[in-house]
Chain A
Amino acid sequence: MLKIENLHATVADKPILNGVSLHVPAGEVHGIMGPNGSGKSTLAYVLAGRPGYEVSDGGVSFDGRDLLAMEPHERAAAGLFLGFQYPVEIPGISYLQFLRESLNSQRRSRDEAELSAGEFIKLAREQAALLDMDAEMLKRPVNVGFSGGEKKRAEMVQMGILAPRFALLDETDSGLDIDALRIVGEGINRIMRGPDKGVLLITHYERLLEHVRPDKVHVLQAGKITRSGDIELARELENTGYAEAAA
């Protein structure tokens, strides 16, 4: 479903990714772990198309399409979702308006009918409730005044509403307490587990992986995948740390 081949990328002319190759078949969840500065967030941003993140070599195909040739909004319409490590605040626009316009923009480009205001609010309420979030929060400006944990939970509500086919989740677990972690883990399983869906879950810690149970775990170090395995690899890293894993 998502095929990354020999991906090299630079940020401000500095090489960050140095030949990442990774294949996430449909129906699978893969975890990516790695120390600070290893390129995890850069990988997520390159896949989502953030300006300034330049691909210098290699390629990425998504369902057989050239992902890197698409604009960020086209990637979203194709079914890609990035859960941000630091969700962005947008004062002046309510979450409801932001998400409704986003969803309808995606639906238009897929030749699907737009949702009416009533239909959308019903959907948003359902998804907020499933993540144990007060739907009233969606009337507030996007992420303004949200705590770190609330922002991450709101990212998952967005994912539930937009119903992507592939999710890149960049440290969705950071800033969450133990209960929120479980709820978010369950949310990922509920929204993204399916035979035609896939997830790339970036994390520092093994804890979220215990909730989501990835099919594979990869270690990213210095811009390359250095090891791959199953959840046992994540448990091992939790005990030994990255330095030893690289040795």
Chain B
Amino acid sequence: MTAPFPTRKQEEWRYADLDALQPVWEQFAEPVTLTVGAGEELEEIWLPVADDVQLRRVQLALGEGAKARIFALNTAPVYGRIELEVSLAEGAEFELFGVNIGTGLSTNEIVTNVKHVGRGGRSRQVIRSVLNGKAVGSYLGKVEVARGAQQTDAEQSVKAMLLDRGATANCKPELEIFADDVKCAHGASVGELDAMQLFYAESRGLDPASARALLLEAFVMGLWDSAKDEAIAGASREALRRVV
């Protein structure tokens, strides 16, 4: 039986493009489950595909001391959603580097629920969005720290760059903490390209489009520094070229 179709009343679907989702819902209704056993490591690189609507719904279970690092580029032409539910056992480490690059009327979102179940877990989520036209880019990130999960270290860094007046960024870090000895840092900012940086680059000979592309590259590319495969850097550059 297929899971019921979501509604916007559900917080985690509030910015979704449900009209775009409806025709393809059946194939995405059930999330994919990934399990990383105690002490094991996983690195995933999620590249965009050519489809108008792209969903990745993943449940990730990290055993004791397991490590997972995910690099995700979300740049669907109509609706893209990367949804991750992560549980961390004692001493597990989770890192997500996620980028929304949206153009036109597209909606791209990254929705996470990171559950620190065991003690001493670490999670780090770094999200960047670059949006032009009337594109929407969202990050909804919930971090839950269970009662016994002392010494949890959770971090969320969310930044969005709006290139046009009609573009929208939603940044919503959310914390639910039931332990008293934890570190949960979160920061969010929405801005536009810095006029002085643009002038500096142009005064050195870069035409305005190249200067913008370079500054956007600076904004995004650092996230891929530790990725073992360069495909995601190449795909980002290509996506950035489309939004400049």
Contact = CB atoms under 8 A, between A and B. Distances in A.
Contacts of B217: 92-93
A77 B205 contact: yes
Interface string B99-130: 00000000000000000000000000000000
A103 B218 contact: no
A30 B214 CA distance: 34
B222 A72 contact: no
Contacts of A82: 203
Contacts of B202: 49, 71-73, 76
Contacts of A73: 202-203, 205-208, 211
B157 interface: no
B29 interface: no
B204 A92 contact: no
A103 B201 CA distance: 11
Contact of A71 (B195, B208, B221): B208
A91 B223 CA distance: 13
Contact of A105 (B197, B207, B218, B221): B207
A90 B218 contact: yes
A51 interface: yes
Q: How large is the interface on B (under 10, 10 to 19, 20 to 34, 35 or more residues)?
A: 20 to 34
A90 B195 contact: no
B204 A158 contact: yes
Contacts of B170: none
Given A71-B208, A73-B207, A106-B205, A92 B199 contact: no
Contacts of B204: 76, 98-99, 102, 158, 162
B200 interface: yes
Contact of A76 (B197, B205, B215, B219): B205
A102 B199 contact: no
Contacts of B196: 88
B59 interface: no
Nearest to B225: A92
Contacts of A103: 205
